[in-house]
Amino acid sequence: MPVLVNLDVMMAKRKIRSKDLAQKIGITEANLSLLKSGKVKGVRFTTLEAICHHLQCQPGDILVYEDE
């Protein structure tokens, strides 16, 4: 898929664990894992907003479009 999820990179930069982030943004660790691996069909704006808020970043830092 041309849209890549760089969430794990941002999490590493902010030194936050999956468990902590999942708890803070209100989704399960399993869903966060799926999101990190790009195996979901979509992301809710509310989820994206919570991730950006807790990681202090922009949506573009997490989602990147790359031509195939």
Partner 1 sequence: MQSIENLKQVSHFTRMMLFAAVGIFFSIAIYGFVTQGQWWVTFGDNQFDALWLQYKELHFLLAIIFSPLIGCWLLGFYFLQRLLLALSRGLFYAKATLRYSKYVSWITVFYVCYKMIMTPLATYLVVDNSSIDLSLNPMSLIVVLCLPVLVHLFSAAAELDKENKEIV
The residues that touch partner 1, with contacts defined as CB under 8 A, are 27, 31-32, 34-35, 40-44, 47
Q: Which is nearer to partner 1, 16 or 31 (CB)?
A: 31
Least distance from partner 1 to the Cβ atom of residue 28, Å? 9
Of the pair 38, 60, the CB lying nearest partner 1 is at: 38
Give the contacts of 13 (CB within 8 A, at least 6 positions apart).
none
Distance, in Å, from the CA atom of 54 to the CA atom of 52, rounded to the nearest integer, reads 6
- CB nearer to partner 1: give 9 or 22: 22
Angle, CA 15 vertex, CA 13 and CA 20 arms, to 5°: 130
